[in-house]
Amino acid sequence: MKVILASPRGFCAGVNMAIECLDLALKSFGAPVYVYHEIVHNKYVVETFKEKGAIFVDDLEEVPPESILLFSAHGVSPEIRQAAKARKLTAIDATCPLVTKVHLEAIKFAKLGYTICLIGHEGHDEVIGTMGEAPEAIVLVETEEDVAQLEVADPTKLAYLTQTTLSVDDATRIINCLKARFPEIKGPPKADICYATQNRQEAVRLLGTEAQLVLVLGSQNSSNSQRLKELAKESGIPGYLIDGKSDIQPEWFEGVDTVLVTAGASAPEVVVEECLDYLVERFQATVETRAIRQEEVHFPLPKELRKLVSIT
């Protein structure tokens, strides 16, 4: 068996920054450090941090007053920031800067009196946070059918934004629908879907043509990882989203000569390596890394964390 190992894969700059924030907070302040929602959508990462003393909460009432609190990479609404302040929590904002960009665009369009179509998945942490910036101005759009049923007061004051982890193809289809129905609709100056999401999707699109099966390392609640699996299936190739080697079913590989292995933006390299070891041991696989482009993006730690750490 031949394994094509896609590159780029795995952690993006935003995930790296968020993980570095939580790691540094635990080392500097000691356990417990509270985190609002999962730091990133990955089971392995979350379980590893739980063992180190991180406590993940979905309600700030669970956080004792004056504790250290980290906001996850997906961002939060102003309401959550205010609630943290009211509880006298020391808040560290590990929101990905590319998510912050979408928040700022939402604020700008809302102040100008626009209705904003937010293209995204209902209930996703990132969508909840973005909609919280201007709830009276934002309408969630998930499908082309939603566009057909959309009613707006003034079609000349309409804008769209997108969740950063969507399928590029799906988002493009919905944006084209919006533009066809509302020709005057405005978009962000630069596309909202993040560079890492696009690069990992491009790798599956280009390299998947050489494979008979695609393994995507990532958790089920990871939006960008789900899109990679869906992209493989849309190309007519069986695709499986797995947390690690224990999820692999040997029968998947019957009659398979070539496997493409990739990882979502929140999946650590250690789970990729464990899967590769399994494939080499079980199927005597040879592994070939194929890079479609280089990534050199890095985000600095948040100012408030740098300031806190320099004090301690």
- Contacts with 246 (C-beta within 8 Å, 6 or more apart), sequence order: none
Residue 258 has phi, psi (to 5 degrees) of: -130, 130
C-alpha distances out from residue 183 to 37, 99, 116, 135, Å: 38, 26, 15, 24
The annotation status of 225 as a binding-site residue, yes or no, is: no
The annotation status of 41 as a binding-site residue, yes or no, is: yes
Q: Is 37 helix (H, G, I), strand (E, B) or coil?
A: coil
The annotation status of 74 as a binding-site residue, yes or no, is: yes
Where b means 16+ CB within 10 Å and e means fewer, 75-110 reads bbbeebeebbeebebbbbbbbbebbebbbebbbebb
Strand partners, 54: 33
The annotation status of 222 as a binding-site residue, yes or no, is: yes
The count of other CB atoms within 10 Å of the CB of residue 230 is 18
The annotation status of 194 as a binding-site residue, yes or no, is: yes
The annotation status of 235 as a binding-site residue, yes or no, is: no
The annotation status of 164 as a binding-site residue, yes or no, is: yes
The annotation status of 266 as a binding-site residue, yes or no, is: yes
The annotation status of 223 as a binding-site residue, yes or no, is: yes
The annotation status of 103 as a binding-site residue, yes or no, is: no
Per the annotation, the verdict on 126 as an active-site residue is yes
The pair of three-digit structure tokens given for residue 292, joined into one six-digit string:
């479609």
Contact 210, 4 (CB under 8 A): yes
The annotation status of 77 as a binding-site residue, yes or no, is: no
Active-site residue, from 38, 105, 126, 230: 126
Residue ranges for the binding site for [4Fe-4S] cluster? 12, 96, 194
What are the binding residues for dimethylallyl diphosphate? 41, 74, 124, 222-224, 266
Q: Which residues are annotated as a binding site?
A: 12, 41, 74, 96, 124, 164, 194, 222-224, 266
Which residues are the active-site residues?
Answer: 126
Annotated binding-site residue numbers for isopentenyl diphosphate:
41, 74, 124, 222-224, 266
